[in-house]
Structure 1
Amino acid sequence: MAIIQWFVNLGASVILPILIFLFALVLGIKPAKAFKSGITIGIGFVGLNLIIELLTKNLGPAAKAMVENFGLHLTSIDVGGPAAQAISYGTVLGSLAIPIGIILNVVLLLTKLTKTLDVDVWNFWHIAFTGSLVYMATKDFALGIVVMIIHMMLLFLLADISAPLVQKYFGLEGISFPHGTSLPGFLIALPLNWIFDHIPGMSKIKITSSTIQKRLGILGDSTFIGLIIGLVIGFLAKYPVDKILQLGVNTAAVLLLMPRMVSILMEGLTPISEGAGAFVKKRFPGRDLYIGMDSALAVGQEAVLSSGLVLIPITLLIAIVLPGNKLLPFADLAMIPFLLPLMAAVFKGDIFRTILGGLVEIITCLYIGSWVAPFVTMAAKAANFKIQSGSSVSTLTEGGLWTTLLFVGIGKLFTWGGVIVIGILVLLAMIWQSKRSKTQSQA
């Protein structure tokens, strides 16, 4: 257990290169090429983390200042994704997520119930999060384990279904996103897209980054959009002129640099993708596997990042006026773009629809995040976080997902019976998807 915890504590930028290197060797890639691929991916994640940190450090204080200017009095504070990761892996149950996830992935691949080979093991923290919250709500350790297994199965199912869309829209050949934060938006976007198509006049409204740039020229460039968004947020935060300008430039830098970091990641992933394809063809004739990766690969896409940045001040406004909301959005504001990659793909890069879809999800996130706050607070204390007496914490982009409500709500209200029913439904859906995929490959 201590060894697993030590390995987890290394963080994604170290864990992924090690696992990618070992995985590449298994695929038959030469050691030198495997090492370069692994270290390049690690460098890409370091770069992404630096850009996200740049965004968080600048937007975080600005968001806090905006909140203070509006005079909000909300009882639960959003501690953000990084804190949620530490809380998830900091519990005894959560520390088992990585070995459980790896074993489950192997079993599902061997039984052909998934096509996703998930190398993004750091993000198994999503199942550690729901498992830990179920344990806090029920005090049933075994139920928490089962919830982690079923949650992982659901992520593989949605990753397989959305993979063709991900590959086509983002140009990520052979990649799927078994990512706990982004995938829930996929099932929200599908019915919304149908609704939008049937609203009179709605189908004629199409705003993409290319159409914006075509009509506005330099004013529609993503870097310029980032500058404007940063300036507006700085103004609403009542910053002095110098800080407003700095926030504007830093936000513009994020929009410019994020895609560059993703390109470094893809440079490291290319040999792995090619090696995986050759390995599968040789040892599993007729099988077509996906490499499961972090949706950070897609966050830098213009429609995703632009929509996410627009939604940041909107989220704060919604938190103020939404009746019954108790969650104060803060640390996760900069993580809002991670909710949107699958939405943007479903909406084919339409920024207008992506913002509307994101708005719907954020409203649900605020309500669910408010409801789950007591369990997040208990999990934080169990992970030895220093939470002041009487304080309440939650997370917007993880605690507020419908998957969190599904597993924690069912686990608390119906315990074993409800969770088993969900598990059976997910398993049946995986069998259906497996047969459907086989039929499509034969067509």
Structure 2
Amino acid sequence: MLETLNNFFTIFGASIIVPIIIFIIALFLHVKFSKAIMSAFYAGVGLTGFNWVIAEFTPIVTKIVKQMVNNTGIKLPVVDIGWQAGSLASFGSSVGITFFVFGLIFELIIFALGITKVFMASNLWNNFGFMIWGTLAYYVTHNFWLSLSLSFFMLLYTLVIAEIQADRWSEYFDIKNATVASLHNIEQTIPAILLDPLWNLLGFNKVKLTPKVFKDRLGVFGEPTSLGIILGIIIGILGNLNNLTDIDAWGEVLKFAIQLAAVMTIFPLITDVFAKAFIPLADAIDSRQKEEMKEKTHPKRWFLGIDDGVGYGEPATIISGMILIPIMVLLAFVLPGNRTLPVVDLIALPFMVESIVAITRGNILKIIANGIIWFSLGLYASSWLGSIYTEAVSNYGATIPTGVVLITSFNLMARPLNAVVFAAFISQNPFWIGLCLVTYLVLLFLLRRYRSQIWSYLRKMSEKNIN
């Protein structure tokens, strides 16, 4: 049965499966049939648009990054080939496909019991983020139940973090009663919250560095399209430093500038289409809740888990992500002991900063500062996991590019918190695993008892940023 399901999802893919799931959920929420079917269509169109743009832009960015690398002459053994290989491997393992099926049932149960207030089942496709860690653990330990438990545990603490940032995400990205909860793009909420007092102490909250300020101060040059041109020229020059006297190099620089501007212009349009898939569902949730539950801090308020593609094209998100591309390449070379070279998944940086954007109210300086610290730690996590990831991925069906010794996914593996939890579970030491469980239970207790106070604190924290 599991193999049949795997084949089914492989054949139809996210652009078909996700719309079907959204359609079913919409009907369950009593959305009118016409709106439900349009929600499904918008989801399929949006996902297809994302895939087209990213598929076209990824090799372009990859080429520029490789040229930056060649300019330095430094070689790093663990090469980022993108998240797709990890996704393929997770569906190819017994642990992964078991979680995909029973994880959905588990998500429905814990939502029904009130353990989580995030309806994660609506974001089923991103479950591969949990599946890949269980797959790696199974390859290392050969313990099926321990590895499957790791995937379930990662789901549990991801939902806690997703609920903590839900009010901020929902308000900033302007989709009420919605949040993102993908394992690979949620843990950045932690440094965004913990480091915020430090950034305020340094005056970062008073620095007017937001898309709105860009637009107000720079006029036409503050528009996402113009900023794409400017960033594209800078990144293009960095990728052609050794050839700037060559007319061909300048042709490549200017072409990349236009291509990046196209992405920064088109992605928000696709995002608007994709968001239309979730708005009727979010409105239905709002109408179904009792009047008193519409209070933003009401303890019974719940959220729809949606795909983080909805936030990708938001100006602060995509601008910060693009700025971080050359920064992360530079850090990969200068950080002592790092063995990871981020390449293909650099295009995923806007996904990776979404929660930071929501927490900091789009303060680009804070987003970049948080990204530098957290993703630098992530490079070390990815370096440690390089051999494990390579062997597991190749064992479960993904092909390793010729000439590459070790592979990774910067988006999936450069995750300090997930790496620590993974280390605790594969140790098979009851103390470390127990410590993880106790920490989760404490966080869940605090969230259930003090959720309104936590949200109020985060709202006040975000309002300290000048917009």
Please tell me the TM-score bracket, short chain as reference: over 0.9
| Residue of 141, 144, 148 corresponding to 2:147 | 144
| Residue of 425, 431, 440 corresponding to 1:426 | 440
CA distance in 1, matches of 2:286, 2:443: 26
CA distance in 1, matches of 2:35, 2:15: 18
Kept in 2, the 8 Å contact 1:8–1:122? The answer is no
Name the residue aligned to 2:423.
Answer: 409
| Residue of 80, 83, 107 corresponding to 1:81 | 83
CA distance in 1, matches of 2:254, 2:175: 35
Name the residue aligned to 2:31.
Answer: 29
Question: Secondary structure at the residue paired with 1:181?
Answer: helix
Q: Aligned in 2, Cα 1:273/1:8: closer, same or farther, shift over 3 Å?
A: same
Determine whether 1:7 maps to 2:2.
no
Deviation at 1:235, TM superposition (A): 2.1
Name the residue aligned to 1:252.
Answer: 261
Q: Aligned in 2, Cα 1:273/1:204: closer, same or farther, shift over 3 Å?
A: closer
Q: Aligned in 2, Cα 1:29/1:207: closer, same or farther, shift over 3 Å?
A: closer
| Residue of 361, 384, 403 corresponding to 1:348 | 361
Name the residue aligned to 1:364.
Answer: 377
Deviation at 1:181, TM superposition (A): 2.3
Determine whether 1:381 maps to 2:390.
no
Name the residue aligned to 1:315.
Answer: 328
Kept in 1, the 8 Å contact 2:186–2:355? The answer is yes
| Residue of 69, 87, 90 corresponding to 1:67 | 69
Kept in 2, the 8 Å contact 1:81–1:398? The answer is yes
Deviation at 1:271, TM superposition (A): 1.8
CA distance in 2, matches of 1:389, 1:258: 34
Task: Kindly report which structure 2 residues correspond to 1:40-439, keeping only aligned pairs within 5 A, or say none.
Answer: 40-118=42-120, 119-199=122-202, 201-238=203-240, 240-279=249-288, 287-387=300-400, 391-437=405-451
Name the residue aligned to 2:244.
Answer: none
Summarize deviations over 1:124-156 as a string: whole Å, max 9, x none.
Answer: 011101111222222211111111111001111
CA distance in 2, matches of 1:386, 1:301: 34
Bigger shift: 284-293 or 368-377?
284-293
CA distance in 2, matches of 1:143, 1:417: 14
RMSD over aligned Cα atoms: 2.3
Deviation at 1:440, TM superposition (A): 9.2
Bigger shift: 252-261 or 430-439?
430-439
Deviation at 1:439, TM superposition (A): 8.6
CA distance in 2, matches of 1:206, 1:182: 26
Q: Aligned in 2, Cα 1:266/1:204: closer, same or farther, shift over 3 Å?
A: closer
CA distance in 2, matches of 1:369, 1:99: 28
Amino acid at match of 1:338: F
Question: Secondary structure at the residue paired with 1:74?
Answer: coil
Q: Aligned in 2, Cα 1:440/1:372: closer, same or farther, shift over 3 Å?
A: closer
Kept in 2, the 8 Å contact 1:277–1:289? The answer is no
CA distance in 1, matches of 2:171, 2:288: 23
Bigger shift: 406-415 or 339-348?
406-415
CA distance in 1, matches of 2:396, 2:153: 23
TM-score (norm 1): 0.93
The runs of at least 4 consecutive aligned structure 1 residues that moved more than 6 Å come to 438-441
Question: Secondary structure at the residue paired with 2:119?
Answer: strand
Identity of aligned residues (%): 25
Question: Secondary structure at the residue paired with 2:412?
Answer: coil
Question: Secondary structure at the residue paired with 1:178?
Answer: coil
Amino acid at match of 1:423: L
Summarize deviations over 1:228-252 as a string: whole Å, max 9, x none.
Answer: 2112222222262222222111100
Deviation at 1:307, TM superposition (A): 0.9
Q: Aligned in 2, Cα 1:367/1:19: closer, same or farther, shift over 3 Å?
A: same
CA distance in 2, matches of 1:416, 1:90: 29
Kept in 2, the 8 Å contact 1:100–1:149? The answer is no
CA distance in 2, matches of 1:257, 1:147: 38
Bigger shift: 249-258 or 264-273?
264-273
Gaps of 5+ in 1: none
Question: Secondary structure at the residue paired with 1:173?
Answer: coil
Deviation at 1:340, TM superposition (A): 0.6
Gaps of 5+ in 2: 241-247, 456-467
CA distance in 1, matches of 2:55, 2:29: 34
CA distance in 2, matches of 1:173, 1:203: 25
CA distance in 2, matches of 1:164, 1:171: 10
CA distance in 2, matches of 1:210, 1:114: 35
Kept in 1, the 8 Å contact 2:170–2:176? The answer is yes
How many positions carry a matched residue from both structures? 439
Deviation at 1:67, TM superposition (A): 1.1
Amino acid at match of 1:228: I
Q: Aligned in 2, Cα 1:438/1:319: closer, same or farther, shift over 3 Å?
A: closer
Question: Secondary structure at the residue paired with 1:397?
Answer: helix
Question: Secondary structure at the residue paired with 1:291?
Answer: strand
CA distance in 2, matches of 1:203, 1:291: 30
